[in-house]
Structure 1
């Protein structure tokens, strides 16, 4: 990286840290279209008062305390910061460079499955990752760090948690366990989906003490048994990546037997079981762009998946296939596509705010604009679910963040008006009359 760009990026990080280290100033945002993502719904020409890093009041005609900063939103949309999906932000810097990727544990030998539910990806989280500001300036304020299952050679990937993209090093929510089922995982269980349920039931037997530790049938370490036990009998949330309706049906039965609080990620055919998912109160995080059958697990994929699930009473959030870490900013575009396919607009916003906050145990802090919530807010130029809208300002804990990232620094460098070559204003590698500099 060019030294000048590096120094400028470090300066931006330094300003960010300095801003967040300063005492929080009261802020009154006036005349906004406030999408609370909560019980109040959308409020027009409303005010939001922020103090001490929290939302203090939401209403009309609020009075600014002495010394408060007053911002006229001019009717523009104000939302909570958005959920970036299930990602490896802070765990993956460059996907093609193995030394910068930390979301999977690969300990198995010779095709043997190594089941380590105690593996916790949050211990590798890097709050100074350059990927974080790239998402943050687009209105993404938090994400769920995911543990990749089959990449590590196991049905169970390990644990992750919600992190805020505020430069803090620690998770803000409880741990979440990640499991992958279906055709992508069948190679780990004798090339049979039936083997997946056999292995999962065996793991339950170990935790319950029906298989002795250290026996030939045991798969878990003592730490693994303790970790897995925390997700049984109504404990922590288990996120299961699964698509086929038949597999989702078996998941609901398995979760019911063992009182496991599951959430479905992907769920290309989840709409086929919408009433059962609603009755079991299982949230589903769908990819709204999944339409054509990419494999035999998703023959029933539909752009109307989110709308059909929500119509049946299912809590619907969003996830995305592919490089989710580097494309978290596209989550609101996905929500917009779900709205275009029939999902009500308010439910589209809820899928980026309140729904994931409730599913992953951070609803007391994130996902809504309401008194007592963290003042993590975004002021938008227009409808946040439209691709031509941008985040004008992001606040975290009530403090405005510099709207800069490595990408904006590079943009400004290469798109700014360049002085003449005689003035020495051309950056390196720019063409000049004398050739490449």
Structure 2
């Protein structure tokens, strides 16, 4: 990667480009499905035409040789760019803690984690060379915080500083949030209803019982009136049922994250039109909220009519590439292949409010594309080229540079010395 290109990517000012990808197996992640031996024409960074025998004009041409072409994939809900090294607190910006105990709890939904995003994070190219083009930055929870973590947003891995699309509010309920609500999941509903009372003026702003700042009230008014997506980390079927009822009664637009026992109440989730971000590798109970864990969760949810996407539990930021394994695992356990691909492309894009810009190969969409060596849901295959706005992204990262440095052929030099002849 040249120094100039590095600076362009980092500053987000790299220009969109024209491109013709010829003779690809185009997985559109749209109603058009998969198109064989098809061309995709890009003009000014947007998809201009999809068909056969398209004229390139002055655009560079790439012969895909029949290989799969997909939209750039969703990396899940991660901390990429707001967490560099989890063990070094100065590089972790995804959580807010202002109170030492429940009595001092302050609820700050106005906290927006996207304001800490660093597009020059080394995690960005590590994910991007694996075909991951974007992620939802999540606001996490920790001791001294509340069940409401704050706001996150979608960032593209094109070097841009700012998030795109609407913000989402992050909430943790059930056993995962019990230590943030007086060690009782019952208290979570009490707290949520109090917040609604505050937003709607039934509790004065100067009350000694008030939990919100004026900015917090304004922020929650957006989400507790049906105007923004609330992503709720929740696992147990009974808690999910209660959440669906609560959201319907209070006009809150939700999505479920985790939902390990979601399959048990899949018809209710589908009827509510609620999307779900599942960890398709959660096949065994990790705690008492996940007794009903099954590898068929995604397949059963999809069969009931639920829009299914994917997100990893644990260290998703440093292992974003594994999200393809989640989707492939779901397919191996009954999810249709096209639904597995949609769960990494069009479903999260539409669920998170950016579906008009990305998530499918369609005319007018951003040309964020990936050419694969084979089946993109099979980890035995890799991304051979990634484009962002039609720009070919150098297929290098800190990891590939370390690989090349330490695994060079025997060239008569000490280990770790690169061969300048290559």
Normalised by the length of structure 1, the TM-score is 0.92
Give 1:15 shift.
7.1
Deviations 1:360-390 (A, max 9, x none): 0000111000000000000000000001111
Q: 1:9·1:405 contact (CA, 8 Å) conserved in 2?
A: no
Q: 1:25 to 1:209 in 2, by over 3 A?
A: closer
The residue aligned with 1:334 is 326
Q: 1:152 to 1:91 in 2, by over 3 A?
A: farther
Q: 1:151 to 1:412 in 2, by over 3 A?
A: farther
Give 1:158 shift.
0.1
Q: Does 1:84 align with 2:80?
A: no
The residue aligned with 1:4 is none
Q: 1:367 to 1:315 in 2, by over 3 A?
A: same
Q: Which of residues 56, 65, 70 is equivalent to 1:64?
A: 56
The residue aligned with 1:191 is 183
Give 1:79 shift.
0.2
- State how 1:341-380 maps to structure 2 within 5 Å: 341-380=333-372
Q: 1:151 to 1:62 in 2, by over 3 A?
A: farther
Distance across 2 between alignment mates of 1:194 and 1:179: 15
Of 184-193 and 41-50, deviating more is 184-193
Q: Which of residues 220, 224, 230 is equivalent to 1:228?
A: 220
Q: Which of residues 130, 137, 141 is equivalent to 1:145?
A: 137
Q: 1:154 to 1:419 in 2, by over 3 A?
A: same
Distance across 1 between alignment mates of 2:351 and 2:249: 20
Of 139-148 and 151-160, deviating more is 151-160
Give 1:314 shift.
0.3
Distance across 2 between alignment mates of 1:146 and 1:25: 31
Q: 1:22 to 1:155 in 2, by over 3 A?
A: closer
Q: Which of residues 405, 413, 417 is equivalent to 2:405?
A: 413
Q: 1:183 to 1:57 in 2, by over 3 A?
A: same
The residue aligned with 1:282 is 274
Give 1:417 shift.
2.2
Q: 2:10·2:119 contact (CA, 8 Å) conserved in 1?
A: no
* Runs of at least 5 residues in structure 1 that lack an aligned partner in the other structure: 1-7, 429-437
Q: Does 1:325 align with 2:317?
A: yes
The residue aligned with 1:297 is 289
Runs of 4+ in 1 over 6 A off after TM superposition: 8-12
Give 1:207 shift.
0.2
Give 1:189 shift.
2.2
- State how 1:76-155 maps to structure 2 within 5 Å: 76-111=67-102, 112-151=104-143, 153-155=145-147
Q: 1:12·1:404 contact (CA, 8 Å) conserved in 2?
A: no
Q: 2:406·2:415 contact (CA, 8 Å) conserved in 1?
A: no
Paired residue secondary structure (2:25): strand
Deviations 1:392-417 (A, max 9, x none): 00000011011111111111111122
